[in-house]
Amino acid sequence: MTPVNPMKQLNNQKPQRGFTLVEMLVSMAVTLLMMAALARAFAFVGERVRDSRADVEMTNELRDITTRLKDELEQCTVTMEPARGGTDPLGYFMYYEGPLTDATSSLFRVFTDAAGDTVLNDAKYGDLDDVLAFTAVAKPGTWFSGKVPRFVLDQKTVELLPVNNDSDTSNNILYNPANFPGSAWDPVVIRSKYAEIVYYASPEYAPVSLPASPVYIDVDGDTDLGSGSASENGYPDRVKLHRRVLLIRPDLNMSNGTIQSRSFNPGDGNLAYMLADAWPTASSATITSSAVAADAWMYGMAAVHQQCDLSLRRVLDSDGLPTQVVAANSIQDLAYPHNRFGHIRVPSALIHGSGGSSPTSMPVLALGTPPTVLNMLAANGDRIAPPLAVAGASVVTPTALSGFLRPEFVLGYDLSHRDSLNDKWGLQRLGEDVLTNNTLGFDLKIYDPQVSLFTTTNGLVLGPNDAGYREAMQEAVLSLQAQSPSGLTSVDAVVTRVQGDFVDLCYPVLAGGSLRGWQARPVDRRSTSADIAVAWDTRYFDSDFLVTPFSGVRYQTAGALPNTAYTDCLYSSGKLVTTTSGTGGHSIRLFQPTFDTFSSVYEHDGFMEGNWNGRGARWSTTTPATSPSVDAGANGLDDDGRFGVDDVGEKEVCAPFVEKPEAIRVTIRLETPETRQIRQTSVTHSGQ
């Protein structure tokens, strides 16, 4: 056996090969790609989880809100039958329709990009400026709750003491806060079987604009907080949905039928509690230095609504004018519009432009100026919306009392009145009535069985809630004129349409609606000229497409003046007021489309309410020499010598709409800002 040389064995071993630099780089690149893909996958899963969580949270929030709203509507104390005389309803149901609609964002915020495509960046916004209010009765075991200052209960307790209710008045006991525990202004929770409930949306206001001239925050890239400039979209940046519950407790009134006001010093000066501002101009004792004293007719009841959760009203004097004294409403009191939350009477000078405080308007909502989106112009400078008042056109947008509810009536937002940081009222209540943030729509619609939905030549079915409704109606009118130039007895023989839909009250004339009146208007912001008028054609017996139960207009020609273009009931209710001045003879000074169960109390209240000095019911303390006797509709006389005693023509006022609707629909639209998800849900109420 030949021995092996160990050195030779070592030399015969094959060399070991390592990774080259290229291989290392390739491996690292593959690893990085795999890590990036894995990170992207985790990010995708995370986004989906985040979106799903946000969607679930928003869906649950919507479900909670709509379930509560549905339950409370079912507990409404009245049907939706408007009062027509006789016994008034026990409570009320009311809904106000603001000038914004679902179509506003598509018409007023439409643009064309560089490629010529239509861009609707703000189409997410819906109808935001409606108000819903009604009285409700609680289910057993679930009574409504709210807060009142302790002294309201304590002074009533003292009044009910046996010693204060016997024939001997010499030993009567007076209310003394020192005899009761705690502070007189401490909040105490109470309950009630009945309540006045108000739903409304309210924007966030620029602090620098409050309280004198409220302007909502609408920045959108600039810093002037909502001037309506071209860089703003005209919609509030943030909108909250509010629900205010006001307890109906007339038993808390003192023996004189009012709630006794008191002045206390919580530690930073005397403050009046349960006292309204002087009407129509406030005293400096109750308002801040930055508030406009002359506007107390507008915000005068806001302070007491901040100080308690009772349904309250101003007590009227012998002339029927509001006083500073307040009283707790009964369910019957709330049938009368002037006793409700957020309702005011506008002095004569603000309606006519001159004069004193009387006659006042009929009760209307305390609203601000119109949303600035309605100021948008077409490409050639023409207005898309009806012109602002004062104007002679048949459809105008009043410059006041046609926006959102005044911020003074929002809990914690009243900067017009003096407030103490040492009590639990006023500014400390911010957010207590908020249901949700980031609201994109709070829209109420009423079912109109006669509204027309047209089928266009390209197969689309369009109704008043669609941005293209004006063009669809024009197409129908042109089709009628082309096929039957001499007239016909049946529009449906030529025009393809169906009838019946949920619509906005007064949908033909809303400044932000799809029609915006029947005069010629630019179709949208891209239009370089106005289109043709949407007028009635007298050659056709039933071509009055706009005359429906809840349109608010009556059969007229395109050039009709305001005093003849709208229904008599809108004028008689005081929700529409025109004056005899202005271009063309009449101008609209006040317009609040409202469905209201109303009341017949104004027919026998001893005051003159009626259509005089222009059109639109006004509340007067004196009787004009040329007018019939006061309360002519309930005096047992045939004052006008027509149609018998106390006929319809003798009545001073009536509900704004006299037909009972089949149903109303409430739609709430929300957005999650972090994920840009949008959801909406609707509630339908038949009100039978």
Q: How many CA atoms lie within 13 A of 215 on its CB side?
A: 17
DSSP code for 199? E
Residue 558 confidence (pLDDT) above 80:
no
What mean pLDDT, rounded, does the chain reach? 86
Instruction: Tell if the pTM clears 0.85, that is, is over it.
Output: yes
* Three-class secondary structure of residue 237 per DSSP: coil
Closest CA to 253 of 326, 320, 349, 198: 326
pLDDT at 489 over 60: no
Domain positions in the chain? 68-161+172-482+492-686
Q: Are 427 and 414 in contact (CB under 8 A)?
A: yes
**Among the residues of 247-357, which ranges form H helices?**
296-299, 302-307, 348-352
φ and ψ of 194, to 5 deg: -120, 150
What pLDDT was estimated at residue 541?
44
**pLDDT tens readout for residues 326-351:** 999 999 999 999 999 999 999 988 88
Cis omega (within 30 of 0) on the bond before 280? yes
CA 651 to chain centre: 29
CB 198 within 8 A of CB 244: yes
Q: Distance of CA 61 to CAs 55, 66, 241, 630, 686, Å?
A: 10, 9, 12, 52, 24
Sign of CA dihedral 130, 131, 137, 138: positive
Q: What residues contact residue 157 under an 8 Å CB cut-off, 6+ apart? A: none
pLDDT tens for 599-634 read 988 887 777 787 655 578 888 876 554 555 676 656
* Rounded average pLDDT over 376-385: 84
| pLDDT for residue 532 is more than 90 | no
Q: Is the pLDDT of residue 503 over 60?
A: yes
Q: Which of the residue ranges 265-279, 301-315, 381-395, 540-554 has the most confident prediction, judged by mean pLDDT?
A: 301-315
pLDDT the model gives residue 90 = 94
